[in-house]
Amino acid sequence: MHVHEALAALSRRAYALVLVNRLIYDDQSDGMELIARMKSSQAAAATPVMLISNFPDAQARAVSAGAVPGFGKSALASPRTRAMLAAYLPAKAVGAETRT
């Protein structure tokens, strides 16, 4: 997905959380561009956005731009990352077990 496509999607519906890779896969654009444009957009400014990057400097730039603290791919399966995601997502979305 390109930055303009992501912004269009954000204008059409609400999201609990947006995860942004440091480099956007489709066109290798900087994920910081999406974060900055989200935070300057009336439609998307209130949506939490989290950067996925192992680089502390990238995480710091993202938070400075208005993102919530993110995580690196190397920490994807860690309990800390699950807790970070759980703060924004429904329990089933972060793999919580359902008791019956």
Residue 99 lies in a domain: no
What would the pLDDT profile of 12-70 be if each residue is shown by its tens digit? 998 999 999 988 877 778 889 999 999 998 888 899 999 999 999 999 999 999 999 99
**Dist. CA 34–CA 36, nearest whole Å:** 5
Kind of pairing between the strands at 18-21 and 49-52: parallel
| pTM metric for this prediction | 0.82
24 found inside a domain = yes
Q: In which band, very low, low, confident or very high, does the pLDDT at 95 lie, cut at 50, 70 and 90?
A: low
Residue at 59 is within a domain: yes
Structure confidence at residue 97 (pLDDT):
46
Domain assignment present for residue 100? The answer is no
Q: Over the stretch 76-86, which tens digit does the pLDDT of each residue have?
A: 899 999 999 99
HSE, CB side, 13 Å, CA atoms: give it for residue 100.
0
Q: Is residue 57 assigned to a domain?
A: yes
Of 53, 46, 15, 12, give the one whose Cα is nearest residue 32: 53
For residue 91, what pLDDT is reported? Answer: 72
Q: Indicate which CATH number applies to the domain containing 73.
A: 3.40.50.2300
Q: Does residue 39 belong to any structural domain of this protein?
A: yes
Residue 51 belongs to domain spanning? 3-93
82: in domain: yes
Is it the case that residue 100 has pLDDT exceeding 50?
A: no
How many separate domains does the chain show?
1
98: in domain:
no
